[in-house]
Structure 1
């Protein structure tokens, strides 16, 4: 539900990036003037192909449906949201902060961490494509390179080897030659492992507080009183005193180098 909301917010801005021919074709259709052909593929002298504006719009709309999956699986979002969820569980808070707050914070932190990648994509792929200096195929290739470099830097070699063995791929000479169909699942696997490692470290101090409180209550004979009720204020106090949110967010941002 939230992913559809963000796609709806981005759609008007993406429409502004469409070539002027789209609006000219719509105006001609209203006036009854024949527009551009629906399906046209033009071959360039260098062997590349340019597609008609109608096909380009179809490709953009199809890409929008995949935007939530791309945002979650090819960026830093996965690691961030998992760490925040484990942190909330370690504090003993079930609904605070709410899921909406955690997802919103994760999204903005993802945009902050991924800003160098997004800027590179804008400069090398999006702007040349808008200015009609490159074709859609070359723009897609330029877009994938920054994401490929980012994911490769965060992926463990063991995870890459695992998926290369599963895919029976042995002819890769350099890491830059790893195809996306192998890199993406390896990257997601590495992100899950890293997120759980960070979550385990966050869990330890709160677990110690729970053990101490439970031991004190048992020594006092107050077995009917839940230790979570007593330990929750102490855990919140400890988290606030050490400026926990700044430490967690700073650690997450630094973990991506």
Structure 2
């Protein structure tokens, strides 16, 4: 996956080989069953890192793998739909006035599985054009990295605003590009994350607005009745929950989030 960063030095290229090999090895069981050669991918990648064809020592291999395992989740989450989904669901929980319901584990699980649903076309494309051919020794590892990078690149370009791209192109003093495919990953990644944050807060504002109106109505009513010592949150929370259930809020929210991604 580091190969997606568009860094062309030999050291970064070898680390990219390691990351893609890890994706092959730790792919879901359903994909692994379709790639009989996946179990040897990590060994071949580790042999490539040495540069002279000699494998690294076992202790150094374990050290590299543990380091990559800490980086890989961040890269995967930042390059997929996870960021937008988890932020919107967190704002929804705050709008309902619920502090720990649903708990963080539930929100993360919902975000993860909805991200898998949104990214399913890209995952299937990577599996068909990169993982399976590489596991069957039909293409080289570098070609598999390139194909996987193109798929993620195309997904992120569709979700990124032009203003954010221009901002980071100017900050990085990058020359103008002829086509979106020529945008380097060093520019596309921060632009994509920035665009996702902006989109998530826009969606969150639209979700927050009706619940804010309920809070204002309840607070004004209590003030008019002289019940200033009673917390408006206690009274408004049942009304917000009732409204959310009556409009089938979870289905609307999840469906709207999934539909907000350009395909």
With normalisation by structure 1, the TM-score equals 0.80
Among candidates 136, 140, 144, match of residue 131 of structure 1? 136
CA contact (8 A) 2:41 2:135 kept: no
Q: 1:21 to 1:249 in 2, by over 3 A?
A: closer
Partner of 2:182: 177
Q: Does 1:111 align with 2:132?
A: no
Give matches, 1:31-180, under 5 Å: 39=50, 61=65, 63-180=68-185
Partner of 1:214: 219
CA distance in 2, matches of 1:120, 1:74: 16
CA distance in 1, matches of 2:226, 2:166: 55
CA contact (8 A) 1:210 1:227 kept: yes
Q: 1:150 to 1:221 in 2, by over 3 A?
A: same
CA distance in 2, matches of 1:54, 1:11: 24
List per-residue Cα deviations over 1:103-132 (Å, max 9, x = no partner). Answer: 001000000000000001111111111111
Q: 1:20 to 1:113 in 2, by over 3 A?
A: closer
CA distance in 1, matches of 2:132, 2:173: 38
List per-residue Cα deviations over 1:198-238 (Å, max 9, x = no partner). Answer: 00000010000000000000000000000000000000000
Q: Larger Cα Rg: Structure 1 or Structure 2?
A: 1
Q: 1:106 to 1:12 in 2, by over 3 A?
A: closer
RMSD value over aligned CA atoms?
3.0
| Shift, 1:171, TM fit | 3.6
- Could you list the runs of 5+ residues in structure 2 that have no partner in the other structure? 1-22
Partner of 2:249: 244
Partner of 2:39: 18
Q: 1:246 to 1:187 in 2, by over 3 A?
A: same
List per-residue Cα deviations over 1:135-154 (Å, max 9, x = no partner). Answer: 22111111111100000000
- How many residue pairs were aligned? 228
| Shift, 1:39, TM fit | 3.9
CA contact (8 A) 2:84 2:197 kept: yes
| Shift, 1:174, TM fit | 1.2
Ranked by relative contact order (alpha carbons within 8 Å, sequence separation 6 or more), the top structure is 2
Q: 1:164 to 1:22 in 2, by over 3 A?
A: closer
| Shift, 1:66, TM fit | 2.4
CA distance in 2, matches of 1:166, 1:255: 28
CA distance in 1, matches of 2:227, 2:71: 54
Q: 1:21 to 1:194 in 2, by over 3 A?
A: closer
CA contact (8 A) 2:80 2:119 kept: yes
CA distance in 1, matches of 2:40, 2:219: 66
SS of the residue 1:71 aligns to: helix
With normalisation by structure 2, the TM-score equals 0.79
